[in-house]
């Protein structure tokens, strides 16, 4: 019985890995092999697709652009959400519940609804095709999420902690940075993970708000696919490389995920 | 936790308020602007009242994509929630298996959405894709670019692949928060596995499951990139969900008025469903 339990997760993981394997498989094949034959693994193993990506600047700058605005967005979201989440978890104030729900509604807004007005709005304030524009636009859904997750973590910290610190003569900001933030590192880790994740995977807004200078890798991929014929191998290689930053982030937060989830709201 | 009343807390909320308002209110007002007016460019507007709303509400195209959207979201929730719970229940609770499972299962969540679409496209191609080739070798006549049923099957399978892990992670977190004492008590009482699940595990997972359902509802209702890359909404309009149809109308045909009216109706539907969920969730929280 104990052994049989492994069956379900194992089958599930195999199902998850199959399409990823197929993508990797394609990325190591030559274009002729992809078009002419069906093979379960590359017959003529080649690294040409990867070579092209690392030497052609239109490709690798795409990666740098993506990482740049994702990191910027994560920092802005968490920095802004920290004090707000503290306010929601500790105090009652005029309109707090409505404000909280209003924030959440922005997480619910379909990006397709916002694509066109965002384009017009960011063009009119001269931010079109900058990393800042993408980072700010992703705040629309990442800040509400960050506030939501952090509020859950902060509520699980007893209020006595705050009161003891004040009795000991700590000022508010000293308490906040020296005591409070270290006690919720797991929560901050989880929040950063989610902000990184949702900013990294989003394409519709990132693509709408950029043209050349800040174009994300995902947009480079779609445009290449449509302009220079269907170079499946190259596309597969670029796709495979987009998995790596996510995998690195997961590896770092793997211990927080299980523990952190249980503590917080998400 | 009993909170103290403190109006100064607003100062803490201001940065968030400003950032989100900057992104939400101004663009939303633009949409509202278009929804009630006719424009021929150059900032010339003519008042149209509720004409676009009437047009959208009565259009068969909108009814069809709304119907497809609800069907898709319903199927997704119906498969992913039970499957996610089942996987979370069978996952190892300690040892090396835990990080291995968590890392591998989170992988699909962190792949850019258009890569997910492209990956599944390559995976499902009938001639060179593993899924397509295998199904055809087994005697099924499978071609997701031409047959409606196959296109739906592939889109749903892709979404199950992409998002079930989120439900797994949340359910797993809920399960981990149950004290061992509950299980010991159940063992002494000689409770069956099913009784443990329905009487202990399910009630304890209620909170995280509500969040899982809410997130899955919102995201599957807004789905755009993955089916766009996979099927492009086709064959015909068979997998043109609301967002795909909306972008086609707004950026493809540049029918800004109707597209804006449709945006508002779309947003309103998501808002309504989420508000019902949210109120129920908050009521549960106050009870417990």
pLDDT digits (tens, 9 = 90+) for A149-160: 888 788 878 888
Distances (CA, A) of A242 to A176, A215, B61, B221: 36, 14, 36, 25
Phi, psi for residue B39 in degrees, rounded to 5? -130, 145
For B:262-281, CB contacts with A below 8 A are 263, 266-267, 270-271, 274-275, 278
Residue identified by tokens 């990823």 is A20
Higher pLDDT, B39 or A240: A240
ipTM of the complex: 0.85
Q: How confident is the model at residue B163 (pLDDT cuts 50, 70, 90)?
A: very high
- Residue B86 sits at the chain A interface (C-beta within 8 Å): yes
Q: How confident is the model at residue B78 (pLDDT cuts 50, 70, 90)?
A: very high
Phi, psi for residue B38 in degrees, rounded to 5? -110, 135
CB A234 within 8 A of CB A52: yes
* Domain coordinates in residue numbering, chain A: 1-46, 55-263
The reported pLDDT for the residue numbered B1 is 56
**Shortest CA gap A51–chain B (Å):** 20
Q: Tell me which residue in B5, B122, B218 faces A23 most closely, judged by beta carbons.
A: B122
CB pairs under 8 A between A and B: 280
Predicted confidence (pLDDT) per residue in A64-77, tens digit: 899 999 999 999 99
The reported pLDDT for the residue numbered B180 is 84
CB B69 within 8 A of CB B242: yes
Does residue B268 have a pLDDT over 80? yes
Distance in angstroms (rounded) separating the CA atoms of residues A242 and A244 = 6
The reported pLDDT for the residue numbered B199 is 86
The mean per-residue pLDDT over the stretch B3-18 comes to: 86
Class of domain B61-253+271-287: mainly alpha
| pLDDT, mean of each 10-residue run, chain A (266 residues) | 74 93 88 78 84 84 90 94 92 86 81 79 87 91 88 83 88 89 85 88 86 81 60 85 86 70 48
Q: Which fold has domain A55-263?
A: MetI-like fold (1.10.3720)
Test A93 with B104 for CB contact under 8 angstroms.
no
* Domain coordinates in residue numbering, chain B: 61-253+271-287
Q: Which of A255, A153, A89 lies closest to B4, judged by CA?
A: A89
Q: Find the closest chain B residue to A235 by CA distance.
A: B118
The reported pLDDT for the residue numbered A143 is 93
Listed as own residue / partner, the contacts of A2-7 with beta carbons closer than 8 Å and 24 or more positions apart are A5/B90, A5/B92, A6/B90, A6/B92, A6/B97, A7/B90
Q: Tell me which residue in B7, B102, B271 faces A257 most closely, judged by beta carbons.
A: B102
Distance in angstroms (rounded) separating the CA atoms of residues A130 and A132 = 5
The reported pLDDT for the residue numbered A224 is 63
The mean per-residue pLDDT over the stretch B51-65 comes to: 84
Task: Report helix angle A96-108 to B10-35, nearest 10.
Answer: 50
The reported pLDDT for the residue numbered B8 is 82
Least confident window among A78-87, A253-262, B95-104, B240-249: A253-262
Chain B environment of A137 (Cβ under 8 Å): 23
* Kind of pairing between the strands at B4-5 and A91-92: parallel
Interface test with B, best of A77, A103, A105, A110 (most B CBs within 10 A): A110
The reported pLDDT for the residue numbered B70 is 92
Q: Cβ–Cβ contacts within 10 Å for residue B124, how many?
A: 28
Does residue B221 have a pLDDT over 80? yes
Test B133 with A38 for CB contact under 8 angstroms.
yes
Distance in angstroms (rounded) separating the CA atoms of residues B243 and B150 = 21
Test B15 with A83 for CB contact under 8 angstroms.
yes
Chain B environment of A34 (Cβ under 8 Å): 128
Least confident window among A141-150, A220-229, B4-13, B254-263: A220-229
For B:193-232, CB contacts with A below 8 A are 207-208, 211, 218, 221-222, 224-225, 229
Six token digits for residue B106:
């989170």
**Shortest CA gap B53–chain A (Å):** 15
pTM as predicted: 0.86
Distance in angstroms (rounded) separating the CA atoms of residues A30 and A28 = 7
Higher pLDDT, A235 or B252: A235
3-state secondary structure chain A: CCHHHHHHHHHHHHHHHHHHHHHHHHHCCCHHHHHHCCCCCCCCCCCHHHHHHHHCHHHHHHHHHHHHHHHHHHHHHHHHHHHHHHHHHHEECCCHHHHHHHHHHHHHCCHHHHHHHHHHHHHHCCCCCCHHHHHHHHHHHHHHHHHHHHHHHHHCCCCHHHHHHHHCCCCHHHHHHHHHHHHCHHHHHHHHHHHHHHHHHCCHHHHHCCCCCCCCHHHHHHHHHHHCCCCHHHHHHHHHHHHHHHHHHHHHHHHHHHHHHHHCCC
**Shortest CA gap B171–chain A (Å):** 9
Burial of B252 (0-12, 13-18, 19+ CB in 10 A): exposed
Q: Where are the alpha helices (DSSP H) in B231-255?
A: 242-247
């Amino acid at each position: 019985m104990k052994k049989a339990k492994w069956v379900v997760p194992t089958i599930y993981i195999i199902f998850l890995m199959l399409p990823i394997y197929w993508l990797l498989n394609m990325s190591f094949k030559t274009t002729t092999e992809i078009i002419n034959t069906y093979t379960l693994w590359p017959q003529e193993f080649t690294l040409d697709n990867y070579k092209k990506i690392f030497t052609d600047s239109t490709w690798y700058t795409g990666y740098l652009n993506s990482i740049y605005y994702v990191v910027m967005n994560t920092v802005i979201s968490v920095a802004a959400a920290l004090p707000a989440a503290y306010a929601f978890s500790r105090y009652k104030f005029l309109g707090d519940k409505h404000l909280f729900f209003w924030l959440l509604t922005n997480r619910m807004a379909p990006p397709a609804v916002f694509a066109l007005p965002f384009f017009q709005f960011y063009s009119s304030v001269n931010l079109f095709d900058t990393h800042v524009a993408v980072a700010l636009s992703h705040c629309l859904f990442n800040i509400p999420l960050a506030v939501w997750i952090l509020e859950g973590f902060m509520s699980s910290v007893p209020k006595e902690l705050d009161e003891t610190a004040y009795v000991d003569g700590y000022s508010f900001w000293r308490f906040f940075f020296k005591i409070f933030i270290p006690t919720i590192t797991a929560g901050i880790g989880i929040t950063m993970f989610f902000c990184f994740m949702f900013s990294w995977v989003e394409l519709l807004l990132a693509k709408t708000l950029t043209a050349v200078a800040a174009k994300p890798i995902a947009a480079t991929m779609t445009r290449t696919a449509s302009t220079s014929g269907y170079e499946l191998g190259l596309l597969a290689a670029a796709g495979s490389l987009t998995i790596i930053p996510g995998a690195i982030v997961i590896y770092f937060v793997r211990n927080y995920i299980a523990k952190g989830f249980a503590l917080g709201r998400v | 936790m009993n909170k103290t009343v403190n109006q100064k807390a607003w100062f803490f909320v201001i940065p968030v308020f400003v950032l989100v308002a900057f992104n939400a209110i101004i663009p939303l007002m633009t949409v509202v602007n278009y929804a009630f007016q006719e424009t021929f460019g150059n900032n010339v507007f003519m008042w149209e009242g509720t004409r676009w709303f009437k047009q959208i509400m009565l259009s068969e195209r909108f009814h069809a994509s709304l119907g497809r959207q609800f069907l898709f979201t319903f199927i997704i929730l119906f498969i992913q929630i039970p499957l996610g719970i089942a996987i979370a229940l069978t996952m190892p609770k300690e040892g090396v298996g835990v990080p291995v499972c968590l890392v591998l299962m989170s992988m699909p969540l962190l792949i850019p959405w258009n890569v997910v679409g492209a990956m599944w496209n390559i995976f499902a191609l009938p001639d060179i894709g593993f899924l397509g080739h295998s199904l055809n070798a087994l005697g099924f006549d499978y071609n997701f670019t031409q047959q409606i049923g196959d296109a739906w099957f592939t889109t749903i399978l892709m979404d199950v692949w992409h998002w079930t892990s989120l439900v797994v992670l949340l359910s797993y977190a809920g399960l981990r928060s149950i004290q061992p004492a509950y299980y010991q008590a159940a063992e002494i009482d000689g409770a069956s596995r099913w009784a443990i699940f329905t009487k202990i595990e399910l009630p304890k997972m209620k909170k995280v499951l509500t969040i899982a359902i809410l997130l899955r509802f919102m995201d599957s209702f807004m789905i755009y990139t993955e089916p766009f890359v996979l099927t492009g909404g086709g064959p015909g309009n068979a997998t043109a969900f609301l967002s795909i149809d909306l972008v086609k109308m707004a950026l493809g045909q540049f029918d800004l008025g109707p597209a804006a009216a449709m945006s508002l109706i779309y947003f309103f539907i998501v808002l309504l469903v989420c508000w019902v969920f949210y109120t129920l969730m908050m009521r549960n929280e106050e009870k417990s």
